[in-house]
A and B are shown apart, each in its own frame.
Chain A
Amino acid sequence: NAGVTQTPKFQVLKTGQSMTLQCAQDMNHNSMYWYRQDPGMGLRLIYYSASEGTTDKGEVPNGYNVSRLNKREFSLRLESAAPSQTSVYFCASTLKLGTSSYEQYFGPGTRLTVT
């Protein structure tokens, strides 16, 4: 049981390049998320997917697109990278517990630098 995995761990892009960050979970969770964390800052929600086949914008969706490929996988795409997108990106998934709570598990993060 690997939990939430992300690839790559590190990436350097030039301005204007594109790339896709991959995320997968093997816990059969319905909901998955992408966050970004800038140095010394909190986690800001980029996009989330409540269930397979659905995606919704979070707090900072501009410049990103997502795909919920299946229940396990949720990818984040930068079509034209900008220096402002330099950040650590965390993927997460959520397990519902009973009728009134849930637990969110995070992947190890992808450190992205755009020059």
Chain B
Amino acid sequence: GENVEQHPSTLSVQEGDSAVIKCTYSDSASNYFPWYKQELGKRPQLIIDIRSNVGEKKDQRIAVTLNKTAKHFSLHITETQPEDSAVYFCAASSYSSASKIIFGSGTRLSIRP
């Protein structure tokens, strides 16, 4: 069945440095890739997404890249700040069904002051 693998499971970076989280997916029909941020005790919230017809998308300090041939996509956070500390999840879905959304296992990002 569909599978999304996410690495690393934990990541600690110095404040101001960049953080990169990587995901791979198995279903070649997947064409929509959202990223979620979950703070402790709260619900996941969408922070950025990318569609399969786009290779890169940027929103201020956050960017996502997609390599459809290799079936992997990445989240890049630049100039990290303490409020970036959270768990980040990648996900993959086929827009044609827009229904079965499969999540990666999450990355706990810690920003060191």
A53 at the interface (CB under 8 A from B): no
| Interface contact B105-A56, CB-CB below 8 Å | no
Give the complex CA separation of A101 and B93 in angstroms.
10
Q: Which of A18-26, A40-48, A65-73, A78-86 contacts B (4 or more CB under 8 A)?
A: A40-48
With A59-B1, A102-B95 in contact, is A42–B100 under 8 Å at CB?
no
Q: Is the CB of A100 within 8 A of B43?
A: no
For residue B101, CB closer than 8 A to chain A, the reply is yes
Q: Chain A's interface: helix, strand, loop or mixed, by majority?
A: strand
Contact of B99 among A50, A59, A106, A107 (CB under 8 A): A50
9 A-B pairs in the complex with CB atoms less than 8 angstroms apart = A49-B99, A50-B97, A56-B100, A90-B44, A101-B51, A102-B32, A103-B34, A103-B49, A104-B46
Which residues of A pack against B, CB within 8 Å?
31, 33, 35, 41-45, 48-50, 56, 58-59, 90, 94, 96, 100-109
Chain B positions near chain A (C-beta within 8 angstroms): 1, 6, 31-32, 34, 42-46, 49, 51, 53, 89, 95, 97-106
